[in-house]
């Protein structure tokens, strides 16, 4: 099964448990989910309003049309 879920974050977010802070992936591209591995840096020059996706080699693709009303996780 495959899902298309829009991610709008472009950076990790810290979570502190037991006094230890971990950085969780917010962009969805990390190979070490749920933790950030720095791959979010590829999203820094994404154009606003353009839907981007990344292939298995983490190469960016862009889609001219959008998917109206696609679910966006709350941030």
With contact defined as beta carbons under 8 Å apart, do 29 and 43 qualify? yes
Minimum distance from CB of 21 to ligand FES (Å)? 14
Is the CB of 65 or the CB of 75 nearer to ligand FES?
A: 75
* Count, residues near ligand FES per rule CB under 6 A: 12
Question: What distance in Å separates the CA atoms of residue 39 and residue 14, rounded to the nearest whole number?
Answer: 16
Return the residue matching tokens 């353009």. Answer: 50
CB of 50 to ligand FES, least distance (A): 19
Chain positions 14 to 73 lying near ligand FES, rule: CB under 6 A, are 25-27, 29-30, 36-40
Is the bond preceding 57 in cis, omega lying within 30 degrees of 0? no
């Amino acid at each position: 099964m495959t899902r298309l879920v829009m991610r709008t974050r472009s950076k990790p977010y810290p979570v502190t448990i037991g006094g230890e802070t971990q950085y969780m992936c917010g962009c969805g591209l990390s190979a070490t989910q749920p933790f950030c591995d720095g791959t979010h840096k590829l999203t820094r020059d994404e154009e606003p309003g353009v839907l981007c996706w990344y292939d298995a080699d983490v190469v960016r693709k862009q889609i001219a049309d959008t998917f109206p009303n696609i679910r966006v996780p709350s941030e």
